[in-house]
Each structure stands twice: as C-alpha cells, then as structure tokens.
Structure 1
Amino acid sequence: MCNNDIRIIRVHPDDNVAIVVEADGLDEGQVLDGGLVVNGRVPQGHKLALADIDIDEPVIRYGEVIGTAAIRISQGEHVNESNLHMPTPPALEDLPLATRPAPAVKPLEGYTFEGFRNADGSVGTKNVLGITTSVQCVAGTIDHVVQRIKRELLPRFSNVDDVVGLNHSYGCGVAINAPAAVVPIRTLKNIALNPNFGNEVMVIGLGCEKLQPSTLLEDRPVKVYENTEAADPDANVLSLQDDSFHGFGEMVDGILAMAERHLERLNRRRRETCPASELRVGMQCGGSDAFSGVTANPAVGFATDLIVRAGGSVMFSEVTEVRDAIHLLTPRAIDEQVGQALIEQMVWYDDYLAQGQADRSANTSPGNKKGGLSNIVEKALGSVIKSGNSSIVDVIGPGERLRKRGLTFAATPASDFICGTLQAAAGMNLQVFTTGRGTPYNLPMTPVIKVSSNSTLGQRWHDLIDLDAGRIATGEASIEDVGWELFHLILEVASGRQQVAADRLGIHNDLVLFNPAPVT
C-alpha cells in the first residue's frame, strides 16, 4: 500500500503489521494509503501497526503469530521487541507429517554449467588444493606453508584456482570417544570429500594427537610421506613429529614436496559441460533484517525450486531459524520418515540448548533487531522461505554428506561460519548467502553468492554484494525476476565465468567446527 510514493509491505491479508520500505523510515504524522497516520517514528524495515492491538492479542506477520502485545499498541505505532511477548514454539508432538502432495511442476531441462567432474561422479565448481589438519597445533605451520605454496608453486599451475588450509580447533584435549564427538570427526572427514578439492586433499598432523591423521582418510588409502628420496609420489599424510625430519625447514620442505605432486594432478583437470543436476547448492542467511523474508529469501526460494526442477541438490539449514516454523515444513516432507527426521533434529537441538542453559531466543542479534526483526519467531518465518516450495526429500545431521538429489534439510547451528563449514562437509559446490545488514563472509573453497535484501545495502556495499533483491521491495522487480536472475548467476559462477565479489577481493573466513562433545 502506498500514498505519495510511500511504500509499506503487508505480506498476508491476515497481517496486522506491515514493514516500512522507505530508506529514511516514516515520521510521526505521515499519512498512508487509507488514511493510516504514523504514530511515532518508524525506521526502515520496522513494523507498523495496521490496527489497534490490545494487550495479549496476537501480532501477525506472514499470516502467522510472531508474538502477543505486551502493552496496548495503537494503529500506526512502531511494533518491536519492546512491546512484544514471544510465543511458545510449536509443539513437536502431533505435527502433520507428509500431508502436502508434491507440487506438480515440469522438469527444467537444457541448463548446464562448466564444472570439474570427479572420479566419484561429483562435480566441482572450483579446482582447489585442500590441506586439512588433524589437530590445531599445526595451524600456524599450515598458514606458513599455504603462503609459500601460493607464492612459490601455485603460479606454475594455471588450472588450479587456489590452495586452502583447513584449520580448526579440534583434535586433542577433547573427549574423542564421546557420542557427540561423531559430529566434528565426520565433519573433518567429509570436508576432505568436497567436490571442489578433486580428491587431492592432504592431511598434516603433529603425531601425538588423539585424532590421528589416518582417521580422516579411513575410507581411502593412507600413504604417509617419508623424508627420503624415495618418497611416495601419492603421499597424502604427513606428521611433523616424524623422526626423519630435522628442523622446521625439513618439515616445510616435505609439505611443499607433497603439495607439488597434488598440484600436478589437479592441474590436469579441465572444466567440461555438466547438467544443472550436478549443482549442490547451500542456502544460508546472515545479518538478516525484516526485508530478508519478503525479498532475498523468497527469490532464493524461487531459485531453489528451479534447481530442484533441474534435478540438482539444495540444502537449507540453521535449526534455530527453522524451529519456530517447523509446522510449515513437516507437511512438505516427502514421506512420514523424513517428517519424523525433521522433528528429531528439532528435539536434539532443543536438548542441546537446554544443556547450555540457553533457548532459541539467544539467536536474534542486535543487528537483526536494528533491521526490524523483533524475535526469533519472526526471523524463522522469514528464514525458511529460502527452501522454496519443493518437497523435502531428506534430512541429514551435522557433518553428514548429502544422500539425495532434491531439497534436503541439513541440520546445523545458525552461526554463519559453523553452518558454512557443515554445508561444505555435506558436499556443496556453491553457496548462496542472503543478508540485510551486510557481511563480508565468504568461504575459501566454495563460491559464495551474496544477495542483499534491501537496496540501501546493495548500493552502499556495491563492491561486496553480487545481487540486489531489494528491487522487489521497491517494485522494480518481482520475486520471479530476481529468482531467475539468481539461477542464471549460479550457473555463471559455477562455470567460473563470473567471480563472486568476495573472491575478487580475496576475503575468506576460517572454517569453524561444531563440537557438542566435552572438552577435556
């Protein structure tokens, strides 16, 4: 609804709030369509009451209750966390399971990208040498070695995009046999299998750690580097404490020798035409605002459906940003088993938070609230829209690999860095990341397409944002328009024809393991 070009967005006919589109917000006394008078200052992205809301009455956005009024809220007044009570989360008993028939859609055929096909059938969108570690003790050494490889070796191998040190804070001083230790260990194992590494990952260890390097390669041949002239050219494991090394210089020389042979093999890889069904895309949001659920995330959801129609694989994640919308997802499960698996992941995380004496309300950040999101309920309802309208065909736990084509819920915490690490371990070859507040987040081994939810951010961060979905809020483009634009951009980035902004700038975040197990 608008008056004199003043725009506000009401998502659902039942909503009794709308969000402000104007970059400068709305001032007291401004008159909107239908005679609604603004009652006090309302910033951009924040909610405006469309009617009087009495104390304890529901506040509705997306056609769903996002809270109840803590005080009487007058029509035209600013609605925010200070005058809302958060509702209880949906009960997990008796949720509808697999009650919605799969949407009737035509397959999307004929779309391709230029990728690196691997021996196991997977396809990479980059050609990267990964150097993983079995323990945090060697992280400084890996940082040193990676810089030398980039400076001394990489220029000789023009078909290799990068070398990445997969450092982490695990490996020793931990309860490695505790049940929950399966999460960080399988994450490290599966990251090494990411299709962008072309099965050429090296493992560097110290030697005395609990998590031995061979554990990370237990499904593949382990070939240990020996500091001799007869060193195995296929060596993939090196321990710094090996008795054959005399001084740090020999350790580094050994790693460089191993790296050179892996780079030689990676350099033989060439891009080839692959169907869009080989896409494995992770969808994530961070630094979200109230526009995220009406612009960027719906456009991502549209692109999600296009990828699924093309036979590809898409993951959505972030348990705490799903929990309050779980009742909207369980009906979309392909069968009751998948629906029950969704519930089990919610239960596991509820228990995990309770053990830490926290709850889901701890998720919402000051930036989220400044951007108009009042609580985790409102945030979750906008977050799940990234999943589009497709049926959910599978649910995987933290650190597990993708098993099926189609739409999968990959259970992860909502932390940007942990979620990205776990989606990389699941096998994604490209990520789409939506943001309303802005973030330079990027992954070193996987292209990350950054989508802004509002044009204010898109214009201010012009050299960090890859696609501006804020045009949906201003009426310049539709969700369908931006969804198709994103789909085509995914194919261009996956083909190496277009580089994401953060890669151009050389910005990359460290990987962060999720370790719910005890630290000793």
Structure 2
Amino acid sequence: MAQTMTNSRVIKVHPNDNVAIVIEQGGLAEGVSISEGCTTLMPIPQGHKVALTAIAQDSPVIRYNEVIGTAVVAIERGGHVNETNVRLPTAPGLGELSLATRQASASEPLEGYTFEGFRNPDGGVGTKNVLGITTSVQCVAGTVDYVVSRIKRELLPRFPNVDDVVGLNHSYGCGVAINAPAAIVPIRTLKNIALNPNFGNEIMVIGLGCEKLQPSTLLEDRPVKIYENSEAADPEANVLSLQDESFEGFGDMVDGILAMAERHLERLNKRSRETCPASDLVVGMQCGGSDAFSGVTANPAVGFATDLIVRAGGSVMFSEVTEVRDAIHLLTPRAINKEVGKALIEQMAWYDDYLSQGQADRSANPSPGNKKGGLSNVVEKALGSVIKSGNSPIVDVIGPGERLRRKGLTFAATPASDFICGTLQLAAGMNMQVFTTGRGTPYGLAMVPVLKVSTNSQLGRRWHDIIDLDAGRIATGDASIEDVGWELFHLILDVASGRKQAAADRLGIHNDLVLFNPAPVT
C-alpha cells in the first residue's frame, strides 16, 4: 500500500485521496498549515481526517483511493471530516463482483525459518503445551474453575513440560434449541476447540449429566472413555459427569477430576519442543479497539507478515465479516478460483441476512471508541481492516466454527466481536494470534499466545507493558511497513518457540471464550 506523506503532520494514503489523517500527537490547532494552500479551519484531533480539498455536499470522501462516504454538507478545505458530516454509502452489491480475476504474482518461497513447537500425532504443532478442560454445559463452569485452581496449585508443579491448565468454559449446552439448523455453529465450535494443537489431544470434558449437549457429542471423532469413581478407573478416561451416582458430595467430584487430570498431565509432560518449519504456523489475524492509524501502520505491517508466513508455507486466517463486507470488492478478485470467490460472497450474504433478522445493519459498527480514534464509519474501518490479509491469494473460506483445511491465506468467517472472533479462530486451529489495536485493549487468550501490536506510538508508550510491538513508528517515519512486518514475523517465531512470552501471558491477562450462537434459545 503506497503512502504519500504530505508532511510530518498528516498522512495521505493515496494520491487520489481528498482527506488525510492527522498524525501529530495532541492533534492540530486551528490555523496550522498542512500543505500548500491548506490550513486547518478548526482544531482537529490526532487520527482524525482533514479535508485537503473543498468537498461539495453529496460529493465523495476518498481515502485509500476508495469512497468511504459522501459529504452530508459542504466541507471546506482544511475542515474536519468525521462521522457527523460523512454519509454511509451503499454496501457493494454481491451479484456483480469480479471472481478470481487477479493473477497472483509469483512470490519467492521463504525457506529456512523454523520454530520450536510441540508436534502432535495428527501433524499439527502446538506453540504451547496445555491441558484443556472443556465443559458440555455452563452449569459446571464454577466447578471447573475451582478444579483448575487446585490443579495449578497442587499438580502442575510436578509436570514442568506442561505450560498451563485451562478451563474452556462457555454459556452453551442447555436451554437451547439443540436441533435447530444454526445450532451447528456453537456445537462444531466446541468440538473443534478441543482439537486445537496446543492441547496435544489430551482434552478432558466435564459434564453435568442432564444437559442437551452430551459430552460424547464433543468427542464424537475420538474414543469416549467415562471416568468411573473406583479403583478400576480407566487411566485414559476423558469424560466425567458430576451427576454420576457414585460420587458422594462435591469433594468426591473434585477428587475424581483431579485423578483424571493427573493421568492427562503425565502424558502431556512427555511432550517436548522440537524444531518445526515455519510452514507449521497457523496464525489468526484480528484487530480491536481500532483507530484511523490501523489501516496505515499496524494492519499493513501485519499484512506484510501475513505474506511472509504464506511464502514460508504456513497458514494465516483473517476474519470479521462486518469489517470485510464493505471491502469485499477488493477481495473476491484475489480468490484462487471462482468457487472460493463464491464462498466469500455466500458468507457476506449469510451475515447480511443474519443482521436483517436481528433488525440491525452494518452501521452498528464502528464503536464510539473507533469514532473517537478517527474512524468515521464501517466502510473506512473495513478498508483498513482487510489490509491485514496482505496480498496473497485467498485459498479457502470456512464458516463459523469450522477448521482450517488448507495451507495459505484463508478467510474464516466470524463476527467482528473480539471475543467471538478469537473463540472461532481458536476452533479453526490457530496456534498463534496477532491482534492490532489503536485505542488499546488488554485482550488475551490462555490457550494460544496473543501478540498485540499498537497502531500509534502514543499507545505503545503508555501501554509499554501490555503492547508487544509498536507499529506507530511507521507513521512517524522511524520504520517502514516492511521493517515492522519482518520484526513481527521474527517475534512470532520467537514466541511460538517459547523463547519470548507474549505480554498477555506474562501478565496473566486472559479473556473468556464467547460462542457465536445464531440459533434460538429456549
């Protein structure tokens, strides 16, 4: 993505743009000259847009060489352009998009890059070695939290090769229309989370006993072995139900879970890191708390790193349907074939219908914080968001909760909600996540390392112990997109190897899983 630096105070992304964003910390005061003949007519905050030319009423406002809206009123040269004076344009139609028309440029394979990971029998590679304890129903979440605390305190110190014990709690499992067509989304999400490579195939399931979502459903692709509260308990037991009549009181239940966990920890502790090619990386790209810098600093650098991972033979997914919908015309030409292009369109159409049924539309995005950071509407947000996907061909499209099927760049359809997107990318099989933010967020996942990249250096300095990499240096000219992209690529390899630790893991900041459930609740 070409950037035209008007001067040290503003960034104009493309020569055809009629707006630029303010990069100067604290914003610009009234009367500041930003280019020949263009002076600010009012104070304009950092990250917000200034009109570089006069924009007539109903005329297009252009950023990224794309129309992000039309002027509600005439905007004078040097005026402040924001959500109050930019009208949301019509979304791109889905019936006339170009499919697989961009011929992928030949890129040289990136060879010789490795990381130290935990290889699984199925070929997947973990970046952590974690005992996952999932639940079949929310009713047992409190018990799992209690037991996880006990395991960490009493058992985990005996198993130095195991990084953590994580309770995979959620709000699903009962009081839901379990047979409704859309129920497949939360059910397959939970099933596929259990297959995440960081769990080493040693997942445990704790159920209640009377729930609609039976524990065996979550393990239907592998043997189900029920824990028996006796000396004859199967050492490979992976399912325990609290309503089992052999348990006498809560203490008995806890002892049973601890005994089952100990056997799983023994097997996980036999795993060790080994050298794996970078092609075993499965990286989820996400953004949250975005601002106007996202599309010119962090996201382009992430896009550069995306292309490096793909060139190395690895897998990358980008997501967030509502932050792709208004840039879909830029993506369908990149599909590797027409079938993949049609799959992109189908996911956009499904979500359009989903929002319509809920009597909402895409204008519900962005958030107040996004607007405060300079993003006027979802079109501008989407154009900056999709840059995370780099320039690689899109080789596949998967629905919410599905697993990755192919190496390369995949669009994994998810809502834009940070927590739901993270949960669904976890189910897709990511072993690492990169999360860009301009407003700041302490977001993290206990199951995989999450690297947070700041879009502006002010945030990077203020949140010095939460942010892993500052991409704001791109805006100030202290680093290029390529510089930060390579830096991120090397950081991913270091964290995947356990040589460095993501800030969220170091601080113990981890968010809950949040399932996407479009089906009815009874």
**TM-score, length-normalised on structure 2?**
0.99
Distance 2:466 2:358 in 1: 36
Distance 1:163 1:106 in 2: 40
Aligned to 1:373: 375
Q: Which secondary structure does the structure 2 equivalent of 1:473 belong to?
A: helix
Give the letter for the 1:370 counterpart.
K
The answer to whether the Cα contact below 8 Å between 2:216 and 2:224 also exists between their aligned partners in 1 is: yes
Aligned to 1:147: 149
Aligned to 2:514: 512
C-alpha change, 1:210 and 1:2, in structure 2 (3 Å) is closer
Give the letter for the 1:228 counterpart.
S
Aligned to 2:305: 303
Deviation at 1:35, TM superposition (A): 3.1
Give the letter for the 1:130 counterpart.
G
Q: Which secondary structure does the structure 2 equivalent of 1:284 belong to?
A: strand
Deviation at 1:33, TM superposition (A): 2.7
Give the letter for the 1:93 counterpart.
G
Distance 1:31 1:227 in 2: 77
Distance 1:124 1:35 in 2: 56
The answer to whether the Cα contact below 8 Å between 2:16 and 2:65 also exists between their aligned partners in 1 is: yes
The answer to whether the Cα contact below 8 Å between 1:103 and 1:389 also exists between their aligned partners in 2 is: no
Structure 1 residues 77-100: Cα deviation after superposition (integer angstroms, max 9, x where no partner):
110000011000000002000000
Aligned to 1:229: 231
Aligned to 1:499: 501
Deviation beyond 4 Å, 4+ runs, structure 1: none
Aligned to 2:258: 256
The alignment status of 1:26 with 2:33, answered yes or no, reads no
Distance 1:92 1:318 in 2: 17
Aligned to 1:213: 215
Aligned to 2:314: 312
Aligned to 1:488: 490
Q: How does 1:16-415 map to 2 (within 5 A)?
A: 16-415=18-417
Distance 2:250 2:12 in 1: 63
Aligned to 2:468: 466
C-alpha change, 1:161 and 1:390, in structure 2 (3 Å) is same
**TM-score, length-normalised on structure 1?**
0.99
RMSD of aligned Cα (Å): 0.8
Deviation at 1:403, TM superposition (A): 0.1
Give the letter for the 1:314 counterpart.
V
The answer to whether the Cα contact below 8 Å between 1:46 and 1:80 also exists between their aligned partners in 2 is: yes
Distance 1:330 1:385 in 2: 14
**Structure 1 residues not aligned, in runs of 5+:** none
Give the letter for the 2:519 counterpart.
A
Q: Which secondary structure does the structure 2 equivalent of 1:109 belong to?
A: coil
Deviation at 1:34, TM superposition (A): 1.4
Distance 1:358 1:153 in 2: 48
Q: Which secondary structure does the structure 2 equivalent of 1:209 belong to?
A: coil
Deviation at 1:41, TM superposition (A): 0.7
The answer to whether the Cα contact below 8 Å between 2:206 and 2:241 also exists between their aligned partners in 1 is: yes
The answer to whether the Cα contact below 8 Å between 2:129 and 2:268 also exists between their aligned partners in 1 is: yes
Distance 2:490 2:309 in 1: 10
Percent identical among aligned pairs is 82
Give the letter for the 2:326 counterpart.
D
The match for 1:443 among 429, 442, 445 is: 445
Give the letter for the 2:249 counterpart.
G
Distance 1:9 1:363 in 2: 24
Matched residues, number: 519
Distance 2:394 2:13 in 1: 24
Deviation at 1:2, TM superposition (A): 7.0
Distance 2:411 2:299 in 1: 16
Distance 1:417 1:516 in 2: 15
The answer to whether the Cα contact below 8 Å between 1:191 and 1:425 also exists between their aligned partners in 2 is: yes
**Structure 2 residues not aligned, in runs of 5+:** none
Give the letter for the 1:350 counterpart.
D
